[in-house]
Amino acid sequence: MPPDFNLLKRYVMNEYDAVIECVSVEKCFKEGRLIVPVLKEINLTLARGERVAVVGSSGAGKSTLLHIMGGLDIPTKGEVRIGGRSMSSLNEGERSRLRNSELGFIYQFHHLLPEFTALENVAMPLLIAGLEPTEARHRASDVLAATGLSSRLSHKPGELSGGERQRAAVARALVTKPSCVLADEPTGNLDRNSASDVLDLMLNLNEDIGTSLVVVTHDENLAHRLGRVVRLVDGALRDG
């Protein structure tokens, strides 16, 4: 079943023109006595509804940047603002709540829990947020139907194809009504046809609903389909 984008519109909220802002972000790691710079003076603003591809060589720091943008890691210097709120001004509990309400995450591997059905996996973020179970299942069912999986609600990940598992991961990322989806190589583990289907779904979400997208990828063709491309070179961010 094809995705129903009208149904998905109710799952997106965004009150700010700038969804995510990186201001003079730097990141260093310690290796023994050495301090290794990974990100240098990163300035990046993601507007509402914008889609951006982050490309670069292996080890360039793409995933590190994505984790910092998503509040999963903290910069050595600089700050990240999500929905206008500085992550550095919040405690861990507040950062977690802001992250869960404003952001969705998709990874190369779907990370669905194998012992739970597609419906249960997608409902999980809502249950963690404290939503009543019946309502969580109802919302999860709606968003799975909207991503074309209405006939697969009771199937466990092992009973789904690779493309279906990644569609379920997209549904899980959307069910909390995020302003932005951060995706780390979301099609890297799929065959060509499944990868194209998942990418089409994500691009249509952006066009029809206004979900902002940040996609880390090594695939130049995929990157240019997103429109804006930024490149990490020697820890610095460049356009194109």
pTM for this predicted structure: 0.80
Domain locations along the chain: 5-239
Full strand arrangement of the beta sheet holding 180-184? 103-107, 180-184, 212-216, 51-55, 228-233, 236-239
Closest C-alpha among 68, 15, 63, 22 to residue 46:
22
d(CA 212, CA 204): 11
**Phi/psi at 90 (nearest 5 deg)?**
-110, 150
5-239 is a CATH 3.40.190.10 domain:
no
Predicted confidence at residue 1, as pLDDT, reads 54
Ordered per-residue pLDDT tens for the chain, 240 residues: 555 544 444 444 344 478 899 999 999 988 888 888 899 999 999 988 899 999 988 778 888 999 999 888 889 999 999 888 888 888 888 888 888 888 888 887 778 899 999 999 999 988 988 889 999 999 899 888 878 888 899 999 999 988 888 889 888 888 887 888 899 888 777 777 777 777 787 787 777 777 789 999 888 888 888 888 999 888 898 886
